[in-house]
Amino acid sequence: MDLQSQNISGKDFYDDLPQSVKDDIEQGLREIENGNVYAHEDVMKEIKERFGLK
């Protein structure tokens, strides 16, 4: 299903976001482009070890 076709108004919700949110999204995208990411499995392993979870 094409989500864009579901947009009846033709307006992207991104346009209505506060500038601070747009800035955070852009920063996150830059971090991804620069390889500043962690695999979910690695994060969960660290959390489990840190807090003694199984």
Overall domain count for the chain: 1
Query: Tens of pLDDT along 26-38?
Result: 999 999 999 999 9
Q: What distances in angstroms separate CA 40 from CA 2, 11, 28, 46, 47, one per listed residue?
A: 28, 33, 16, 10, 11
> Mean pLDDT throughout 27-51?
97
| Domain-located, residue 40 | yes
Q: Whole-structure pTM over 0.75, yes or no?
A: no
Residue 23 lies in a domain: yes
Residue 22 located in a structural domain: yes
Please check whether residue 13 lies inside any domain of the structure.
Answer: no
In a domain, 8, yes or no: no
Domain of residue 52: give its range. 18-54
Residue 3 predicted with pLDDT over 70: no
User: Is 41 within a domain?
Assistant: yes
Among 11-15, 25-29, 44-48, the minimum mean pLDDT is found in 11-15
Residue 11 within a domain:
no
